Amino acid sequence: MIISSVKKFYVMLSPSTLKIYNASAGSGKTFFLVKNYLYILFKSSNNDEFKHILSLTFTNKASEEMKRRILQCIKEFSNQKVSEEYYSLFSHLVKDLNLTKQKLYKRSKKILSAIFHDFSSFSISISTIDKFTYRTILSFLSKKIDLEMDTNSFLLKVVENLFSKLKKSEKWSNIFVQCSLEKLKEGKNWDIRKELLKIAFLIVEENSFLSMNKMKTYSFYDFLRLKKTLLNRTKKFEKKCKKQGEKFFEFLEKTSIQEHSFIHSDLPRLFKKLSLGDLFINPFKKRLEKSIHMEIFHSKWIETDQKTLISKNKKKIIFLYKKTKHIYKKYISSYILEKLFLKHLSFLSIIHEIEKEFVSLKEEKKIILNAELNKILHEEITTKEPFPHIYEKMGIQYKHYFIDEFQDISFLQWSNIRILIENALSENGSAMIVGDPKQSIYRWRGGDPKQFIHLISYPSQFYQKQVFTIDTNFRSYKEIVKFNNSLYQSVSKFFHSPIYQKLYKDSQQKIFKKTGGYVELNFIYNIEKNNYKQYVYLEIRKRIKKLLIQNKYKLSDIAILVRSNEEGNFLSEKLIQDGFLVNTSVSLLIKNHLEIEIIIHFFYIFLKPHCYQKRASLILLLLQNKLISTNKKEDHDFLMETLFLPLDLFLKKVFFNKKSFNFNKLYNNKSLYEIAEKIIHSLGFFKKKNQSYNTSSIYSFLDFIHRAIKSIGNNSIVDFLEYWELKKKKESISVSENIDAIHVMTIHQSKGLQFPIVLLPFVDWNVCSKKKEKEGAWINVSPHLYHGLNTIYLEIESYLQYIDDDNYIKKFYEDYLSNIRFDNLNLLYVATTRPVEKLFLFTKYEKDQSVSSYIKNFLRDKRLWNDQKFQYSFGKE
C-alpha cells in the first residue's frame, strides 16, 4: 500500500461537485479510492455510514481488493498502536477530520463492529457494475430468475430452434433459399444460420441497442417496402452509369476514335467499368484526373489522324467526363451504403422471429442473459416516469458514489448510474469517478473511452465538475517508466485523431522510484512461421531459468501476458511439460489433459459398448502413456486381442489385468462422480509424478461432474456427455493462487494487476485488426431516404478506404480504423505498465503492419535502431 503518497493525493470531497480523476497506470488509484472512502466514513457521525456509500468497480478482483483494503485500514486504526505502514494515513485523517487520535481509534472500533454485524450490506455496497445491475433488476422482477453468462451457446440454441421452425414455413423457406443463393453468388458460405446468429447478437449487444430498438418497430412488410425502395434507387444509379458508359463508346464509334488512341487507355477503362456496373472502387484515378486537367488525351505514338480526331472533339470528351463524374460523385455514397445494407436487409426482416424465439427460450429456462442486463435496467428506467420505484429507494439509501475504471463503462451503464449520481449531487451528496482512457480495452463489450474524454472536457448543466490528473507512477522502477514515457510519446504521432494523439502525447508520468528497472526488447529475425511460437517459447524459458537461478526470483514473481487464449494455452502447456508450475487464467482447458480424455473415453464406451473406434482410441491412449500392462506383447497384438472382447473382459484387460475387477461394482447403481473416481484410482492417476497440474485437472473435472449433474438434474450418462460437449471448450483448470507458480494470462485479465517480472511474447498483432470475422458497424443516414431509419448496419469492408465520396464513407472507415488502432495500442500500454522491476518483450523483426512497427519507430526516434541489431535494453539487468 502506497501510504507515503497520502499527502499528495488526499482529497476531501466537497458536496454537489462531481470529482473526476484521470489516473494513469500505476498511480495507486485503488488506494486513492480507499482513502476518500474512509474520509466519508469517518466524517459521518453514523457508524453504519458504509450503507450509504456505493462503490462500483469493473471486476470482481477489483471490488474484493477494495473491500480488503478498507477493512485492513479500519482494523489497523482500531488498534491502540497503529503500525508504521498505516500511520501516515491515520495521521492525515485525524488532521483533516479535526479529531483526536483517541476519537478516531474509538470510531474505528465502532465502525468495524457495525460492518461485521451487517457485513452483507458492506459487501453489496462495494460491487462490480454488473452485480449492481443484476441485483437492481431482481428487485423489480415478479419471479426468481437465473443469470446466464454463456451468451454464445444460448444464441446458438435460439438460431437452431428458429431455423428448424421457419424452414417448414413456405414464406420463410423461400427467403432462406433466396438468401443462400445470394451468398453463393458472392462466393460465401451459404449456411444462413451464421447470418441469423449475427442478427441475434445485434439484438443482445449494447452497441446496437438504440439502432435495433428502432428496427424492432418495423414490420416484415416495412422491411420489404424498404428493400424495394433501395433496389429501385441502386438500379437507377447503375442505369445512369451504364448510360454514360454507353454514350462514351457511341461517341467513339460516331467519331471513329479508337480506344487505344487514348493515353494509357485510362478514359476507355473508366467508361468500361461504369457500363459493367463496377462502381464500388473509385474509377476516377489521379492519373486520369491529371490528363483531363492538362487536356492531354492521346498517346504520342498514335496515328496523326487519330490525334486530329481527339483534338477536334476535346471539348465533348471533357464535357462527357465531367458530367459522368458529377453523377458519380453525387450518388456514390448513397449507392454504396444502400448496396451494403441490402446484404443484411433480408436477415434483418427476421428480427421479430428471432426476438420471439429469444424471449420464449429465456422464459422456458427462467433466465436472463448477462449481456442484456444494462438494456433491461435502461428500459425499466426510461419507461417508468419520472423515476422507477427501485431507483427512488436507492436515491434515499445511497448518498455517496465511487466509480472505478470509468473508461470501460458502456453508454448504457453510465446512463443508468448517472441518474443516481445527479440525484445525490442535487441533495448535497458526493460522487467520484476514476479512469484512464489509455487503459480502455473493452470496446467490444460497449466500453467507450470517448465517454470519459467527453466527461472531462465538457461542462454539465446538472452539476459542477472538478477534473484532476494523477500522473505519478508508484508501481514501476525508473527505467520502465522512462521507457513507457518515450515509447508512447513516439507512438502518439501515428494517430490521425487529435483526441487520441493528445492523450498519448500528454501521457508522461512522473517517476516515484528514482532508480532501477530493466527493459529488454527482442526482435525475432528470419524464423519460419511454423517455428516462430516454439522459438519464442525457448527464449522465454531461457529468461525464466536465468531469473530463477541468478536473480533469485520466485516463480510467482513472473507473469507472461498474451493477447489470446490460444497463445496462453500453448505457453502454459509447454511450461508444464518442462516441469514448471503454472497458475493460468487463460484456457488451460481440462479437455486437453490425458486423464480427462481417458475418463471421457470410458464414459463413451459405457454408453456404447460396441463402439470399437472409441475402444481402440482408449487402448492407444493408455498404451502410449504406459498406463496399461501388455505382458511384453506388441502394442498391435494387444490391441487386436483386446478390442473385440465383451465389455467386462475388455475393461478387466485395460485396468491392468486386475483379477479382482468387477464391472458391476464399477458401473451399476453408481453415480457418474463415483464411476470417475473409480477410474482415477484404478489407473493410479494420483500416483504419477509431477503432480500439481495433473491433480488440478482431475479435481477440476470432478467439480465439473458435480456441477453438471446439478445442472441437468439427473445422473444420465447421455445427458452428461451432451453437456460436456457443449461446455468443454470453456472449462479450465482451477489452480490455487497461493502456490508458487508462473502466471500466464491474457492482457485483458492482467488489467489492474502488477508483477515484479513481465514477459510479453508475440507482440506483433496487427494495429488495425480486431477479429478474424468481418466486423459490422452502424452509420448515420437521412431518415427520409430510409423510411424513418436514422442508422443502418453494414459490414466493414477494406475497400471502403478507396471510396472517394467527399469523405463521408471514407471518414466513417477512417474513424473505425482509428478506434481499432487506439484499442490495439491501449492493449500494449496495459501490458507494458504491469511490471514493477523487469520487462521482456518479444516481437517479429519483419512485421511492419503490427505494434512491432511502433517499437521500431520509437527506437529510430531515439537514434538507436540498427538493421543488424536484434536486441535492445534499457537499465541494468
Tell me, yes or no, whether 106 and 23 share the same domain: yes
pLDDT-derived band of residue 726, with 50, 70 and 90 as boundaries? Answer: confident
Asked whether 740 and 581 are in contact (CB, 8 A), the reply is yes
pLDDT-derived band of residue 635, with 50, 70 and 90 as boundaries? Answer: confident
Tell me, yes or no, whether 299 and 234 share the same domain: yes
Cell numbers given for 525: 529475425
Query: What's the pLDDT score for residue 689?
Result: 47
Residue 732 maps to a domain: no
Mean pLDDT of 847-869: 90
Residue 318 maps to a domain: yes
What is d(CA 253, CA 745) in angstroms, rounded to the nearest whole number? 69
pLDDT-derived band of residue 690, with 50, 70 and 90 as boundaries? Answer: very low
* Closest residue by Cα to residue 75 from 60, 85, 63: 85
Query: What's the pLDDT score for residue 863?
Result: 95
Asked whether 503 and 438 are in contact (CB, 8 A), the reply is yes
Tell me, yes or no, whether 61 and 107 share the same domain: yes
**283-306 pLDDT tens trace:** 888 888 888 888 887 777 788 888
Domain boundary among 470, 500, 527: 470
C-alpha distances in Å from residue 269, one per residue of 262, 274, 284, 288, 326: 10, 9, 10, 10, 18
- Greatest mean pLDDT range, 55-64, 443-452, 654-663: 55-64
Position 401 pLDDT exceeds 90: yes
Exposure string (b/e) for 85-121, b if CB count within 10 Å is 16 or more? ebebbbebbbeeeebeeeebbebbbebbebbeeeeee
Tell me, yes or no, whether 105 and 155 share the same domain: no
Tell me, yes or no, whether 46 and 182 share the same domain: no
Position 512 pLDDT exceeds 70: yes
Tell me, yes or no, whether 217 and 358 share the same domain: yes
Exposure string (b/e) for 30-40, b if CB count within 10 Å is 16 or more? bbbbbbbbbbb
Tell me, yes or no, whether 117 and 54 share the same domain: yes
Cell numbers given for 564: 489470446
Position 718 pLDDT exceeds 80: yes
* Closest residue by Cα to residue 10 from 531, 470, 683, 570: 470
Tell me, yes or no, whether 76 and 13 share the same domain: yes
Query: What's the pLDDT score for residue 463?
Result: 81
Position 471 pLDDT exceeds 80: yes
Tell me, yes or no, whether 222 and 285 share the same domain: yes
Residue 481 maps to a domain: no
**Dihedral (Cα; 483, 485, 490, 495), 10-degree rounding:** 130
Residue type, 859: L
Query: What's the pLDDT score for residue 477?
Result: 97
Query: What's the pLDDT score for residue 658?
Result: 52
Q: Which position has the grid cell 473493452?
A: 442
Tell me, yes or no, whether 281 and 351 share the same domain: yes
> What percent of the chain shows pLDDT beyond 90?
41
- Which of 604-618, 803-817, 822-836 comes out lowest in average pLDDT? 803-817
Query: What's the pLDDT score for residue 176?
Result: 75
Query: What's the pLDDT score for residue 392?
Result: 78
> E strand or H helix at 469, and its extent?
strand 464-470
DSSP code per residue over 434-455: EE-GGG---GGGTB-HHHHHHH
Distance in Å from the first CA to the final CA of the chain: 26
**330-389 pLDDT tens trace:** 888 889 889 889 888 878 888 899 999 999 999 998 999 999 999 999 988 887 666 667
Residue scoring higher pLDDT (470 or 445): 470
Please calculate the CA angle 316-319-321 and round it to the nearest 5 degrees.
110
Cell numbers given for 637: 497384438
HSE at residue 675, side-chain half, CA atoms within 13 A, is 25
Residue 482 maps to a domain: no
Residue 63 maps to a domain: yes
**772-782 pLDDT tens trace:** 456 788 898 88
pLDDT-derived band of residue 102, with 50, 70 and 90 as boundaries? Answer: very high
What is d(CA 835, CA 498) in angstroms, rounded to the nearest whole number? 29
CATH number at residue 115: 3.40.50.300
Give the rounded distance of the alpha carbon of 158 from its chain centre.
23
Cell numbers given for 194: 451464421
Q: How large is the angle between the packed helices 717-727 and 594-607, nearest 10 degrees?
A: 140
Q: Tell me the β-bridge partners of 433.
A: 20, 403
Residue scoring higher pLDDT (390 or 108): 108
Query: What's the pLDDT score for residue 666?
Result: 63
pLDDT-derived band of residue 7, with 50, 70 and 90 as boundaries? Answer: very low
- Which of 68-72, 299-303, 538-542, 860-864 comes out lowest in average pLDDT? 299-303
Mean pLDDT of 241-261: 90
Exposure string (b/e) for 823-837, b if CB count within 10 Å is 16 or more? bbbbbbbbbbbbbbb
Tell me, yes or no, whether 338 and 222 share the same domain: yes
Provide the 8-state DSSP code for 372: G
C-alpha distances in Å from residue 255, one per residue of 186, 271, 387, 750: 39, 16, 76, 72
Query: What's the pLDDT score for residue 472?
Result: 94
Query: What's the pLDDT score for residue 1?
Result: 36
Mean pLDDT of 491-514: 90
Judging by beta carbons within 10 Å of its beta carbon (0-12, 13-18, 19+), is residue 532 exposed, middle or buried? Answer: middle
Dihedral sign of CA atoms 251, 252, 257, 260 in order: positive
Position 581 pLDDT exceeds 60: yes
Residue scoring higher pLDDT (545 or 732): 545
Position 506 pLDDT exceeds 70: yes
Residue 414 maps to a domain: yes
Residue 375 maps to a domain: no
Please calculate the CA angle 804-810-814 and round it to the nearest 5 degrees.
150
HSE at residue 737, side-chain half, CA atoms within 13 A, is 4
Tell me, yes or no, whether 31 and 94 share the same domain: yes
Position 13 pLDDT exceeds 70: no
Query: What's the pLDDT score for residue 184?
Result: 62
Q: Which residues contact 413 (CB under 8 A, 6 or more apart)?
A: 129, 133, 374, 446
Q: HEC string of 768-830? A: CCCCCCCCEEEEECCHHHCCCCCEEEEECCHHHHHCCCCCHHHHHHHHHHHHHHHHHHHHHHH
What is d(CA 181, CA 187) in angstroms, rounded to the nearest whole number? 10
**817-835 pLDDT tens trace:** 888 899 999 999 999 999 9
What is d(CA 641, CA 272) in angstroms, rounded to the nearest whole number? 73
DSSP code per residue over 214-274: HHTTS-HHHHHHHHHHHHHHHHHHHHHHHHHHHHHHHHHHHHT--GGGBGGGHHHHHHHHH
The pair phi, psi for residue 793, each rounded to 5°, is -100, 135
Average pLDDT, the chain: 86
Position 198 pLDDT exceeds 90: no
What is d(CA 659, CA 370) in angstroms, rounded to the nearest whole number? 53
How many structural domains are present in the chain?
5
Q: Which residues contact 111 (CB under 8 A, 6 or more apart)?
A: 41, 42, 47, 49, 50, 74
Domain that holds residue 806: 776-821
Residue 313 maps to a domain: yes
pLDDT-derived band of residue 733, with 50, 70 and 90 as boundaries? Answer: confident
Domain boundary among 365, 400, 422: 365
Query: What's the pLDDT score for residue 355?
Result: 92
**15-63 pLDDT tens trace:** 578 999 999 999 988 888 999 999 999 999 999 999 999 999 988 888 9
Judging by beta carbons within 10 Å of its beta carbon (0-12, 13-18, 19+), is residue 235 exposed, middle or buried? Answer: exposed
C-alpha distances in Å from residue 444, one per residue of 9, 371, 447, 568: 33, 12, 7, 20
Q: Which residues contact 76 (CB under 8 A, 6 or more apart)?
A: 82, 83, 85, 86, 90
